A and B are shown apart, each in its own frame.
Chain A
């Protein structure tokens, strides 16, 4: 059981340019929407305190640039992440197709201890728009194939499902964080397992 000290959950939002990463973050943290957020350059984050099952935790939510070439700098920002939020735009099939590469890239760069069980959450954003092009079923199938990744359909503009999605993100991140803590309490035992070796070798790509 994790100790009752202050808990910081690091959450990384990834997805193609213009799917609404900054808007989702701002809707959740500031309860505000603007269609004039500038394209994110580099990285930035916002923090918010939330209750998860009567525990107060601080979420540190990282927003990054969506254009692929800027991801080579991601490693500095992904390190120590407790949950990764993959976003796409339900009106843009290409942004949905990119989910695979965002997930892969994150696992390579963040190299979490247990990649098969690292918590991801998928958000299909912009459901307020009429020209929807990716069906719920198709998205659910993808999430199912990736070890039952939780899936939410959101609108950052209309504040639909944003709160609910981030509650799940917080809960799953907390579970991940607790596991890491448990792991760190018994480093000698774990040193002997294969998992640990995999972590040490993970950066030799």
Chain B
């Protein structure tokens, strides 16, 4: 039996009743999930995937061209676009991460920035004193605090301890990691501490090399990714659905494969998304990827396209080896630290350009990627944005 499923004349040969039943079952599920889905779609829904270049990292001299005499950055978007295309030179990171993560305002002068920095430093140490002065006796009646403290203690002792900055016993940087996370608990007690947050802070502490600065940059990062840590995991589940929608659009062949193999939940992308690929990349590449993502260029939720690009790279291995859910998860976990970041970023941007220039893109995907929605908003009440 032959089944036609999507563009590029993709025809799958199916043998045995069970497989056919499975396939139709999965197709039915897809229809439930995506109201606009049709079993037989028109050929060539998407435009060609273009070739994309990347640039060298932004240097100090490059940056000076965006700064006026008082230190203000007036043309923010072109600067962000430039950072998106090449990242930031290591010796400029410390300063520019403060902008990208909202610790500094782009339009503040050198003087205003220094005032703000001092003000926020004081505020940090005030909040730090709050948890530092909680006695053991108080803590015995403050279980929410105690739980958070105990989780943080466990996690800082196993966060990046192989990296020179955090290695060895009694490393003061591990104490800083602890103190910043504890102070964040006082800053946002409701969210408190959730596993994964120490992974997000460690590179920031490494780059800023300053406790209070690291704290405020971390606050900025958490403002972007806090939905990853929802108590009901809504934000994570939504992002997995978004990846599903995008893969469904750009690669129906991979999508039907994953459906048939019971893998359409995309749970194997969970670690990628929770800590923004931190566990998949070495430090150099993590820093590069994160600064690229913080520009929000070329679109919001670009990290989802990074995930789709990685899946595109692994597609042949997955399909040729007939991997099921278990094997896919193992394979995805195993490619950690073997990812070509530059090639992945190129591919992710190319996929964005491909989607952006295509006429038949469903509104669900448009909303996720910040593209103008075509129909009146009443047709898709469920669509929303995840930062």
Contact = CB atoms under 8 A, between A and B. Distances in A.
Contacts of A94: 147
Interface in B153-191: 154-155, 157-159, 161-162
Contacts of B325: 76
Range class of the B interface residue count: 20 to 34
B265 A67 contact: no
Contact of A38 (B151, B274, B279, B330): B279
B195 A67 contact: yes
Contacts of A77: 267
A45 B279 contact: no
B232 interface: yes
A36 B161 contact: yes
A43 interface: yes
Given A41-B274, A41-B275, A17 B232 contact: no
Given A18-B154, A36-B161, A41-B271, A70 B330 contact: no
Interface in A29-82: 35-39, 41-45, 60, 65-67, 69-70, 72-73, 76-77
A36 B274 CA distance: 20
A37 B279 CA distance: 12
Contact of B233 (A17, A18, A38, A72): A72
Contacts, number: 74
Chain A interface size band reads 20 to 34
B326 A60 contact: yes
Q: B-side binding surface: helix, strand, loop or mixed? A: helix
A69 B233 contact: yes
Contacts of A17: 151, 154-155, 195
Given A60-B326, A70-B233, A42 B195 contact: no
Contacts of A65: 195
Interface string B254-284: 0000000000010110110011000100000
Contacts of A41: 195-196, 199, 270-271, 274-275, 279
B191 to A, nearest CB: 11
14 contacts: A17-B195, A36-B158, A37-B158, A38-B158, A39-B159, A39-B196, A41-B196, A41-B275, A42-B267, A42-B333, A45-B326, A73-B233, A73-B237, A73-B270
Q: Which 9 A-B pairs have the closest CB atoms?
A: A18-B154, A42-B270, A42-B271, A41-B271, A36-B161, A67-B195, A72-B233, A76-B267, A39-B195
